[in-house]
Each structure stands twice: as C-alpha cells, then as structure tokens.
Amino acid sequence: MAKKIAKEDLSKLKEKGTGFFAEFKEFIMRGNVMDMAIGVIIGGAFQGIVTALTEDFINPLINGIGGAEVGGTFKIYGGQVIKYGDFITSVINFFIMALVLFVLLKVVNGVMAMGKKEEEEEAEKAEEVVLLEEIRDLLKKSK
C-alpha cells in the first residue's frame, strides 16, 4: 500500500514539475521577455559608451572650464577618503542615460502611435459606414 501511495505522489510531482517547467518555458519564450533581455544587454553595452563619454570628454571639459577637479577626493579620519568626483561622474552618467532613454522612448511611442492612428481612423470609417447603412435601411423600410 505504501508503494502505491508513493507512486501516486511521485506521478503527481512529475505532473506538477512538468507544468511548472512548461509554464516557465512559455514565459521565457514570450516576445516581451526576449525584448527585455535584448534591451538589458544593449543598455549594458551603451553604459560603457556613456561612461567613456563622461570620463574622457565631459569631465575634462568641466576641469578645464571651471578649474575644479571632477575626480577629486576628500580626506577624512584614519586615512580614508570620500571620492566625490566618482559620485559626480556617476550622477552625470545617470542623467545622460536617462536623457537617451527618454528620447528613445519618445521616438518609439511616436512610431507606435502613428500605426494606432491609422487603425483608429479605419475603425471610425468602418463605424460610419455601418451607421450610414443602418440609416439607409431604416429609410427604405419607412417608405
């Protein structure tokens, strides 16, 4: 009897596991997840470009114009230092990335909106045609 119960439990676990993995596979294969993964990879690569832009172009410009050293440090007790320059560089990187993502999102939304406008216009025309046909049919019946 114990073997029979164990076999039933094992088969239930197999079914559950298969369902879980099938659901996980379906989740992974969705277009949204793949698009997000590609976006993360491209974003990581783009971060290197933004960091190079900040460190190699923007920071030297700030150093040259303002006379302030962006890569500066502030010494505190025990020989420890606070690297405020690295923090400023990270903030600049963040704002550049945020600006680029904002512009990219606006462009993508604009392109998607164009396609939706055409579909909405076609749907409105179809609704107008249906209404006109109904009015025509009502007029025919009333005569």
Q: Strands 81-82, 74-75: parallel, antiparallel or unpaired by DSSP?
A: antiparallel
pLDDT, tens digit, 9 for 90 and up, residues 9-46 = 556 655 555 677 777 777 767 667 677 777 788 888 88
pLDDT, tens digit, 9 for 90 and up, residues 50-106 = 888 888 887 777 777 666 666 677 788 888 888 877 788 788 888 888 888 788 878
pLDDT, tens digit, 9 for 90 and up, residues 98-133 = 888 788 878 877 877 777 777 777 777 777 777 888
The secondary structure of 110-134 as a DSSP string is HHHHHHHHHHHHHHHHHHHHHHHHH
So what's the pLDDT on residue 78? 81
Q: Given 1.20.1070, 1.10.1200, 3.30.1490, 1.10.3470, which CATH number is that of 2-142? A: 1.10.1200
Confidence of residue 7 (pLDDT cuts 50, 70, 90): low
CA distance 51 to 26: 36
So what's the pLDDT on residue 66? 60
User: Exposed, middle or buried by CB within 10 Å (0-12, 13-18, 19+), for 32?
Assistant: exposed
